[in-house]
Structure formats: C-alpha cells, structure tokens
Amino acid sequence: MSVRILALVGSLRAGSHNRQLAEAAVKLAPEGADVQLFEGLAEIPFYNEDIDVEGSVPATAVRLREAVGSADALLLFTPEYNGTIPAVLKNAIDWLSRPYGAGALTAKPVAVVGTAFGQYGGVWAQDETRKSLGVAGAQVLEDVKLSIAGSLTRFAETHPADDTEVAAQLAEVVARVHGQAAGQSA
C-alpha cells in the first residue's frame, strides 16, 4: 500500500526555492511513498466563517480539504516572510482546521521544512507553522525538521535536488514522514 504525502508550498512564486525543494521531495520519495504537490493555494479565498457553511464553501477550499483528507500525511514547505509564516499557508491551515475538532488536519501527521535567505533558514516561520498546525489539531512531527539557510546563493544555480547534502537531508525527512504515516495506518 502506497502512503500518500501531500505537499503544500507557502510561496506562490514560480521560481520559489521552496517549490523546488517540494519538487525534489517528489523525486526523492522512497518506495511506497507517493508525494504530490497541491496546486491552487493562491485561488483559495481568505478564511471567512460566513462562507464556510454548507452550500457556500468555495470549490477551491473544498478541493484543498478533500486532498488533505485523502492524504496519509502532509509535508509543508515554508519560506519566511517578515519573520513569520506566509499568509497563503496560514490561510490553508485555517480552512483545514474547520470544522473545529473535525477538520482535515485532525490527527494527520505533518512535518514542516523549508529554506530562506537568512542565516537560520526560516526557522521562525517553521516554528510558527508548527504552532498553528498543532492548534488546528494536526499531529505535528516536531522532530522532523530541515531549515536550509542562504537560499538565494545556495540555489542560485543549483536545484535543491542536485545539491547532494540537501537531497540527502530531504530524503531523510520524506522517509521519516512516510514511516510515521505508514505506522499510523498499520
């Protein structure tokens, strides 16, 4: 049985290093793991309880909830915007946290990784993302971490999949998420 890991990327930029990192995760997935990138976070409106009612939920939010609901685990890739989580990723978490106590994130294994230009690789954004996911009911894999500093220079001419050190670290992250999800479904 294949373990489905859904990747959400907090950067909308086409050339995003976090998107490249997510693409690398797809390539580096171990046997038995199927990593898929979710497309469409930009189209999901900001969370508003007034439109989160039966018959009014935007189709894009429904699609996100269904994708997460059918995944065995999540892997979030976040840049750091002004020291914190990007709005598009926080908005996705907000949609996935509802209905309260029974949202698509409830008890779902989730790991947060990423890269940023700063010297700490976006750890503040990753920590804020983990906090938000935990409050939303996810099973945050606190010990599965990867923060890659200096993204603008490190990946200026090299895709993360072609960086031997990053590829090895990312493969380990995906393997650990896979193992956690496989262990839950056993």
DSSP letters, the chain, are: -PEEEEEEES---TT-HHHHHHHHHHHHPPTTEEEEE---GGGSPPP-TTT-STTTS-HHHHHHHHHHHH-SEEEEE---BTTB--HHHHHHHHHHT-STTSSTTTT-EEEEEEE-SSTT-SHHHHHHHHHHHHHTT-EEEEEEEEEE--HHHHTSSS-GGG-HHHHHHHHHHHHHHHHHHHHHH-
| C-alpha 84, offset from chain centre | 15
How far, in Å, CA of 39 to CA of 42, rounded?
8
pLDDT of residue 79: 96
Average pLDDT, integer, range 135-154: 95
Mean confidence (pLDDT) of the chain: 95
CATH fold label, 3-185 = Rossmann fold (3.40.50)
- pLDDT 10s digits, 68-114: 999 999 999 999 999 999 999 999 999 999 998 899 999 999 999 99
pLDDT at 154 over 80: yes
- pLDDT 10s digits, 33-63: 999 999 999 999 999 999 999 999 999 999 9
pLDDT at 186 over 70: no
Average pLDDT, integer, range 13-41: 96
pLDDT at 1 over 80: no
pLDDT of residue 182: 92
pLDDT of residue 100: 87
> Could you state, in order of their start, the residue ranges of all structural domains in the chain?
3-185
pLDDT of residue 184: 81
